[in-house]
Amino acid sequence: MRYLIILLLGLILGAGAAVWWLGTPRAKSLPGTQVRAPEASGDPAGTVVVTLPNGFVQKFLATIFQDLGAPSFQLGEIKPATNSTGIEHIAFQQGCTNTITLAPEGSNIKTEVQFANGKITAPLAFSGSYNLLTNCMQFKGWAQTSIQLRFDEGSQTVFGQVDVEGVNLEGVNPVANNFVTVFVRNAIDQRVNPLELIKAAQLQLMIPVKASNGAVKARVKDVRAEMLEGSLKMHISYEFSGTRGQQPQG
């Protein structure tokens, strides 16, 4: 029992130290409002339903890794004490990138987006290194995340908010585990959110009606979503207005 108490105390103190050194996650003001499920009574007139199957999203992710390269995010840095030698610091920096890099797979986990049980989840495999008090910590593992959709009517944009539900590390010294967990979580929280998923250019419509010398503009009024097994259905409701003498360019 004594050793169990010591272990629990060490974990609490370690987490506290990690927060003290690395800082607590800063709350971001996220744009728009959370996307809700469609009304049981049905969609209003002027609603378009777009279905995204899992396969489409996986192909999109595969293209990012194959054609663009693995996404990476810069981590904050804990600088060495002022009495450290410049040579020691420079030599250390050359071997420590202070980044976290996503991987297509790792730790027996595949990076992917899943639609199931009314949720959007995304396990993320990663690796990286971190400058912790002149010690270069190499780490790898995976994070379990969920994605909440948000719609901002003013900017006509659908955003994604990535919530980190857990970080699983391998090959990290237990003493340093709490430090790594905090800055991995912070990196995902602060460097990724909010995701711009669908911008105004993809949502808004301008349909020419030459016989009336004008155009009909379709502006998004509301967005609803339902997560089915293996697919995401987005219910996009439009409001229409006519403008005389205005024709779309191009």
What residue ranges do the domains of the chain occupy? 2-23+56-197
pLDDT of residue 16: 38
Q: Report pLDDT digits (tens) over 12-29.
A: 333 333 333 344 445 567
Q: What is the rounded average pLDDT of the residues 70-79?
A: 73
Report the SS3 class of residue 138: strand
d(CA 133, CA 56): 43
Token digits for 125? 């495999």
The CA-to-CA distance between both ends of the chain, in Å, stands at: 75
Q: Quick check: 54 and 231 in contact, CB under 8 A?
A: yes
Report the SS3 class of residue 159: strand
Q: DSSP class of residue 104?
A: S
Residue 4 has pLDDT above 60, yes or no: no
The Cβ of residue 63 has, within 10 Å, a number of other Cβ atoms equal to 10
Q: Give the CATH class of 2-23+56-197.
A: alpha beta
pLDDT of residue 88: 39
Q: Report pLDDT digits (tens) over 210-242.
A: 999 999 999 999 999 999 999 999 999 999 999
Q: Quick check: 149 and 159 in contact, CB under 8 A?
A: yes
Read off φ and ψ for residue 114, nearest 5 degrees. Answer: -120, 135
Phi and psi based region of residue 28 (left: phi greater than 0; alpha: psi -120 to 50; beta: remaining): beta
Residue with tokens 């979580």: 185
Q: Dihedral sign, CA of 97, 99, 104, 110?
A: positive
- Tell if the pTM clears 0.85, that is, is over it: no
